[in-house]
Structure 1
């Protein structure tokens, strides 16, 4: 308990208006994760909006925290894709560790679903997954698993382009279970449940609650390895196309 209280005070975010690294004016906090605090900032030198991520002070002296920070910064410097934030700079401020990166325009699906109350029907949900696949494929071609494909980390801009953010849990692909299929299945279910209205008192499985076409049901079962698992994203893409056109 004492450790948690100490971490709470130690990990308090910098207040709005603070200038960190002698160039980044903190506008607002975007979020806090296990290892980091993310800020929306104004780059006073570059004249652009950006995102600055801080390694939590309580984590900077731990082996896991240091490794997570170094891995994410190294990884982002290696990636070059329009739907993935560009890495800008790694720096220290007040003894804390930071890095800056591109601010991606758009809304994440957590906000779209819970704030905007956006609903996605079956075909729309499948199309969103299909639009996301080229980004995931780019990562896999570079031997990287995102590791955290969830509604807060997937964005869509006004032109309906998909973006993938937050690489704090990304890792090198060591085996087939690292290929993000399970996460894609959960993301798809989140989209499908936006149109679900419960009329039952007891919770049931997604197969009992959702009324889906057999082709869509098959995609989800394979993503969760309930049936023969997918061997490639190309195979998944082909199944998504068939399900959309059914």
Structure 2
């Protein structure tokens, strides 16, 4: 609706005004927005860049959404890892909570694949996946499940991966009956993150895929992967028996010399 767009534009101006009143920061631009939050690029007096993430104004009176937003803040505050943005301050703007965190200056895998046309071989894809799994193991050891490890939320910075957007993250639940999980994406244990890793790996592998037939087929037929890679993917995607942990998945990443 036109009035909702206008309201959000007015909120962007309110954020710019709020930052303008603080001499330590200057407002740069709107970076983007999702279902629940809007993100802005700001700069401090030493030219260091930060991100201000704020709950969208239409949600500022929704108790459940506010609670989820505050949970993201809590999770980021309790994690101190080099590949996860650090929170520096929190507050409210027009009754909408916000936090200021580090700006990660890199490219998402969505940008790399679909804008830059980057292509990843099987060996490269597995190496990237193994690095991602190393980071997931650390997150799980901190008692956190990300639950949204999609290509827009994983960045590459000088050959190092960074994970952003913890809006759907939750506390890791150790004792979950796998047979009771209806949607692996929403699981509150390793199943969710590994399921997303499986799809992330598929995006990497498809980046170097050249279709030979007009009719679309299942990825198992189209990609023609080594059996070890196919089995590894199917365990991530819950087609075969799933891994018992991110550590087991990391230990099971197939290795090739060429």
Residues 192-223 of structure 1, C-alpha deviations (whole Å, 9 max, x = no match):
00011223333221111112111110110000
Whether contact under 8 Å (2:134, 2:250) holds in the other structure is no
Q: Does residue 1:185 correspond to 2:198, yes or no?
A: yes
- Structure 2 gaps of 5+ residues are 179-186
Residues 43-67 of structure 1, C-alpha deviations (whole Å, 9 max, x = no match):
24x6521011010000111122211
TM-score scaled by length of structure 2: 0.86
CA RMSD of aligned residues (A): 2.1
Residue 57 of structure 2 aligns to a residue in which SS? Answer: coil
The aligned counterpart of 2:8 is 11
The aligned counterpart of 1:169 is 168
TM-score scaled by length of structure 1: 0.90
Residues 114-151 of structure 1, C-alpha deviations (whole Å, 9 max, x = no match):
11110001010000011112221111012110010011
* CA shift in 2, pair 1:10/1:103, >3 Å: same
**Equivalent runs, 1:6-155 vs 2, <5 Å:** 6-12=3-9, 14=12, 18-21=16-19, 22-23=21-22, 24-44=25-45, 47-155=47-155
CA distance in 2, matches of 1:205, 1:48: 46
CA distance in 1, matches of 2:197, 2:146: 11
Residue 85 of structure 2 aligns to a residue in which SS? Answer: coil
- Structure 1 gaps of 5+ residues are none
C-alpha deviation, 1:168, in angstroms: 0.6
CA distance in 2, matches of 1:95, 1:235: 44
C-alpha deviation, 1:8, in angstroms: 3.2
Whether contact under 8 Å (2:118, 2:207) holds in the other structure is yes
Q: Does residue 1:227 correspond to 2:240, yes or no?
A: yes
Whether contact under 8 Å (1:83, 1:163) holds in the other structure is yes
* CA shift in 2, pair 1:16/1:58, >3 Å: closer
* CA shift in 2, pair 1:28/1:16, >3 Å: farther
The aligned counterpart of 1:196 is 209
